[in-house]
A and B are shown apart, each in its own frame.
Chain A
């Protein structure tokens, strides 16, 4: 009944789609992971992604330069991250509410700017799939690993870099300390606000890039509200991944692979109801989360504003 799935075309196709679908989640989730490791939950990811998607798209529409688009998306994301940091770190606002506020802001502003500056959807020529000589032409392997747009490669490179920074550098140690026990970190001379500013700004920048990875990387077009809830899934994937880079990678890949599997299952006319198929990624993610939840320990100071006692 399911033998159509076990052809080279289908298997290569499923992995191919899964890797592309995972790209925006990796950027957004890894960035958010750093923010959360330092104790700040940023629920504004969705809004920042949309602003990144729009600003990157608009720059490419005007200049035709995808690298410049990516850079602008990163800067816009970082600025929105800064806004979140000011609200949640300096002003110590309730993080959940400020994040939702930021999302509303991003959804509204990106739609408004799109309407005023562009009007109706127009395609751009963003990053094209990179054909790496020799490697791309290896059968199967070439298709699987060497036929993506630049942002996808960067997203996957970000995993080992995040792992290294978080676990092997002083900065990573400071981030973890601030998220685990801010008082202790403070008493050792680590500036809690400074570390949190850095991670939240970085998280914003990555959310901006995540949006641009869609609008100028994978799809090459902007449409209002095009992230359609991805930002919230990215936040959920941080919990899923247990605040660890490899866990986030596993979560993003699981969700995306199951999503691409269900797309293929429909294309191959497998006897599965489409309504059930589209639920699969969500169901499976919840099941895995439920089974692994016991082992996950969240940063102790997560969502708690830090105020220095006198």
Chain B
């Protein structure tokens, strides 16, 4: 029996080690490498700015988590590489308790800005933020910076996802021949809810008679159920689909198999299925991240709320010209979407939240 408990212990250790290896990603691993590179690359003077990112999914999820990671990488390139901006990432931190530990670890290790990329992380984030008043923290989707708890070092962000949703809705309405559109949603909350409400509003404003059927799977990471939800939508008559959350990878694959068009959200989803992804409304985090860095360097460690809108460049429309949509149809879509975008920007269109 002794031999056995030793073996069991070993197995658990190995399992945890592999789990731990899997958690921080390959491209982000340079947590330590970056520090070394920083001392070598003497280009920007002084210490690099250090950002830690805790995400519920992965940097390659084609949605929520990937969008901010891509933004961070873009800012890093713009600032001059790892010598100027150091990035550490913890993936698959859907469990709040795990995320709480990671937040504290990063704060302890001297990161300037710790981003907890999920609405579920509020409690541990506020707790740690109290203990590290010199560190900036950020989280979303929310508008709560913890000011009522006396915190001055927390940023909050909330994408105005209804705006991008509206644009996709306008485009989807023009493309649907059967006038039935399906939505594969995760949980009726947060930016997914805003996106879907905006999408429905966009469809109805363009083609009032088109039906939009919405399915929620109750999960963010249930690839199989999302795929089946897409199947259900198609069998019920939908010829255009959209959705939100990382599990849509399954739904997009189903749409691809069935030859049904897809409208992407959060990240550019065209690489998943070039033929059928028509447009993607993408969260562009670069401005938010740069604002937070500037604010931190100027001595304001938190207290600001960022809404990412079409106006401030927090959301952009990415067209996929390689889809099988005929060119003249695509031109029609672009014209309509740009008109709608202008309307949202000048305030003449206010998409329902």
Contact = CB atoms under 8 A, between A and B. Distances in A.
Interface of A: 9-10, 12-13, 16-17, 20-21, 24, 87, 91-94, 97-98, 101-102, 104-105, 107-109, 111-112, 115-116, 119-123, 214, 218-221, 223-228, 230, 259-260, 263-264, 266-269, 274-275, 277-279
Query: A-B pairs with the 6 shortest C-beta distances?
Result: A278-B218, A120-B60, A108-B19, A108-B18, A274-B216, A111-B22
A266 B21 contact: no
A54 to B, nearest CB: 12
Contacts of A21: 224-225, 228
A72 to B, nearest CB: 20
B312 interface: no
Contacts of A224: 22, 58, 92
B97 interface: no
B11 A121 contact: no
21 contacts: A87-B4, A92-B4, A93-B7, A94-B8, A104-B16, A108-B20, A108-B22, A115-B26, A116-B26, A123-B272, A219-B227, A223-B246, A224-B92, A226-B223, A228-B222, A263-B228, A266-B213, A267-B215, A267-B233, A274-B218, A277-B218
A221 B250 contact: yes
Contacts of A10: 236
A123 B273 contact: yes
Interface of B: 1, 3-5, 7-8, 11-12, 14-16, 18-22, 25-26, 58, 60-62, 92, 182, 188, 213-219, 221-225, 227-229, 231-233, 235-237, 246-247, 249-250, 253-254, 256-257, 271-273
Given A12-B235, A21-B228, 20 more contacts: A9-B237, A17-B231, A21-B224, A87-B11, A91-B4, A104-B16, A105-B18, A112-B22, A121-B249, A214-B223, A219-B250, A223-B247, A224-B92, A264-B236, A266-B213, A266-B214, A267-B182, A267-B213, A267-B233, A268-B236
A190 B61 CA distance: 50
Contacts of B18: 105, 108-109, 112
Nearest to B212: A269
Given A220-B253, A267-B233, A91 B12 contact: no
A112 B218 contact: no
B235 A225 contact: no
A87 B19 contact: no
Contacts of B254: 219
B231 A20 contact: yes
Contacts of A94: 8
Contacts of B235: 9, 12-13, 16-17
Nearest to B185: A274
Contact of B223 (A92, A223, A259, A279): A223
A94 B15 CA distance: 17
B179 to A, nearest CB: 15
Contacts of A123: 253, 256, 272-273
Nearest to A215: B223
B167 to A, nearest CB: 24
B15 A121 contact: no
A220 B7 contact: no
A228 B221 contact: yes
Contacts of B14: 105
A244 to B, nearest CB: 26
A260 B230 CA distance: 11
A219 B253 contact: yes
A219 B254 CA distance: 7
A260 B232 contact: yes
Nearest to B16: A104
A218 B225 CA distance: 11
Given A107-B19, A108-B22, A275 B218 contact: yes
A179 to B, nearest CB: 21
A98 B110 CA distance: 38
B224 A24 contact: yes
Contacts of A226: 221, 223-224, 250
A228 B250 CA distance: 13
A94 B61 CA distance: 36
A214 to B, nearest CB: 6
Contacts of B188: 274-275
A27 B316 CA distance: 44
A87 B8 contact: yes
Nearest to A90: B4
Nearest to B220: A228
A214 B225 CA distance: 11
Contacts of B236: 9-10, 13, 264, 267-268
Contacts of B58: 224
Contacts of A17: 228, 231-232, 235
Contacts of B26: 115-116
A74 B270 CA distance: 33
Given A108-B21, A219-B227, A219-B250, A225 B15 contact: no
Contacts of B223: 214, 219, 221, 223, 226, 228
Given A121-B249, A226-B223, A20 B228 contact: yes
Question: A92, A94, A115, A219: which has the most chain B beta carbons within 10 Å?
Answer: A219
A105 B11 contact: yes
Nearest to A106: B15
Contacts of B182: 267
B213 A268 contact: yes
A13 B231 CA distance: 9
B21 A218 contact: no
A101 B232 contact: no
B267 to A, nearest CB: 10
A107 B91 CA distance: 13
